Amino acid sequence: MSDLRELYQEVIIDHNRNPRNFHKMQDANKYAEGYNPLCGDQLNLFLKIAEDVIQEVSFEGSGCAISTASASLMTEALKGKTIQQAEALFNTVHGLLTKDEATDWDRLGKLVVLAGVKEFPARVKCATLAWHTLHSALTNQVIAASTE
Ligand code: ZN
C-alpha cells in the first residue's frame, strides 16, 4: 500500500492547491449544496446537463484539503458521463470509501487514489461530501446534502 499512500498524498496536495473546475457556473441546470458538519467542509456543485449527459461541472466552497481534492477529482471524472454513469460512479466511490467490499476498480480510474482516505477514518466524510452533493443534485433533492 505504500505506492498508493504516496500517490494519494501527491494527488490530494495537487488538487487542493490547484482545484480543477473551481468556479461558479451561471448557466447550470442542476445545483446542490453540501455540508460536512464534522469538519466544516462546505461546497456548492453546479452541473450543466443536456440529453442526459454532463456537459459541464464545477464547484466552489471552502473545506479541508481532502474535501477540496475529492471534489476536484470528481468534476474531472464526471465530464461527458451520462447521469446513469455518474450515479454508478457515486455508488462505486461510496462503496470504496465506506465498505470493505470489492468494488469496480476499472470504473474508478484515477479516483482509486481516494482509497487512501480509508487510512484516516475521521476524514472519510470529507472525501464523500462532494459525492453526496452530486447525488442530491442528480436526484433533485431540495434539502442540502449532508454527510450525516
Ligand atoms: Zn474535511
pLDDT in tens, 43-72: 999 999 999 999 999 999 999 999 999 999
Please, what is the average pLDDT of the chain?
91
pLDDT at residue 148 in the model: 65
Please write down the HEC assignment for all residues of the chain: CHHHHHHHHHHHHHHHHCCCCECCCCCCCEEEEEEECCCCEEEEEEEEEECCEEEEEEEEEECCHHHHHHHHHHHHHHCCCEHHHHHHHHHHHHHHHHCCCCCCHHHHHHHHHHHHHHHCHHHHHHHHHHHHHHHHHHCCCCCCEECC
2-146 adopts what CATH topology?
A: Sufe protein. Chain: A (3.90.1010)
pLDDT in tens, 65-115: 999 999 999 999 999 999 999 999 999 999 999 887 667 778 888 898 898
Q: Report yes or no on whether pTM surpasses 0.95.
A: no
> What is the Å distance from ligand 1's center to 22 Cα?
17
> What is the Å distance from ligand 1's center to 51 Cα?
34
> What is the Å distance from ligand 1's center to 70 Cα?
10
> What is the Å distance from ligand 1's center to 29 Cα?
27
